Chains A and B, each alone.
Chain A
Amino acid sequence: MNDCQNLQELIDDYLSDQLPDFAKHRFENHIRRCVNCARLVNEYQQAAEMFCEAVAATRVESSLQLKYKLETMATKQVKPEQRRLQTTILIIGLIAILISVTSISIFGVVAIKFSIIFFASLLLLSLSARFVFQKARKSP
């Protein structure tokens, strides 16, 4: 591989200052001697600048609406711990319904009273769990 070809592969690293010192010196020595490579480096840089200018000219800013929507996006979202709690309550509820239905079908009317008490205590339990959870979240 000759020096010129070698240099072309290093232009990007050179311009983004990624070359180690010895390679950088070799690079600079070469473009001092070689007109073609010096021109290539220059053109590479100019092309990159032109590209950046063209892109910058079309830049748009976020609207207030977008800013607001993104600000409120995370707040609306259900937290993972909260989701876990909700799932647990749902599963307990389903099991409770299953127990009540079976007990009513086995023991008849007597079990209805038992079911009402059972559900009321379950509701109380889930509400207090929610309260405790929210309190825990607010404290740092």
Chain B
Amino acid sequence: MLLRKENAISDETLMLRFGRGDESAFQELVGRYRDRLLNFIYRRLSSVELAEDLVQETFLRVVNAASRYQATAKFNTWLYTIALNLVRNEVARRRPPSCSLEMANGEAVPVGLSIENLIDFHRLQSLMQELTEDHFLVVELSFIEGWTNQQIADFMGCSVGTVKSRKFHALKELRKRMGVQSERLPESSRAN
């Protein structure tokens, strides 16, 4: 998790500056979010090329909306909403509604990965399958993106209490799965 310096300029200030024509402010925002966004999308679409296209599309929308931007909402919440909507459109476009449950089988094979990476990817995908979309999103935004519960609540349109309970249940599911994995290990390598 990247901790930003206390005195760093906020995303919202940068966005307002960009809206007034300061291109370097946009480059700073790109630097902060490009790789994060790429991975956020890639985890859902399994194709780096496609994820890069959608990162571009997301930032293009930011550029187009720059002059109208008002700092009423957090910048990252807005950015990830754009990205998630693009992902959802893409998933809907790619997959006929009749087979929407077949996530891991066939279609979600990542493009251009080594065997090792492929194993890691399938490990993550099987974790994702243990969780509902909302539960995955909560743990992802919390532990990977480092958002506060309040930010996640704003993003998902629910209360902080709901975020906490989703996080708790998601981790309970993950823990169950961890139990399954450690039971497969030989007796000697177990912690207890």
Residues in chain A within 8 A of chain B (CB atoms): 8-9, 11-12, 43-44, 46-48, 50-52, 54-55, 57-63, 65-67, 69-71, 73-75, 77, 79-81, 137
Contacts and interface: CB of A to CB of B under 8 A. Distances in A.
B178 A46 contact: yes
B39 A60 contact: yes
Contacts, number: 104
Interface string B172-191: 10110010000000000000
B120 A62 contact: no
B92 interface: no
Instruction: Give the interface size class of chain B.
Output: 35 or more
B153 to A, nearest CB: 13
B27 A43 contact: no
B175 A47 contact: yes
A interface, by DSSP: helix, strand, loop or mixed? helix
A118 B174 CA distance: 76
Given A70-B56, A73-B63, A81-B21, A54 B34 contact: no
Contacts of B64: 77
B30 A58 contact: no
B124 A54 contact: yes
A54 B136 CA distance: 13
Contacts of B149: 12
Interface stretch (B5-13, B76-84, B95-103, B137-145): B137-145
A119 to B, nearest CB: 31
Contact of B143 (A48, A63, A74): A48
Q: With a 10 A CB-CB cut-off, give which of A52, A59, A63, A74 has the most chain B CB atoms.
A: A74
A50 B174 contact: yes
Nearest to B27: A71
B42 A66 contact: no
B155 interface: no
Contact of B43 (A50, A55, A62, A74): A55
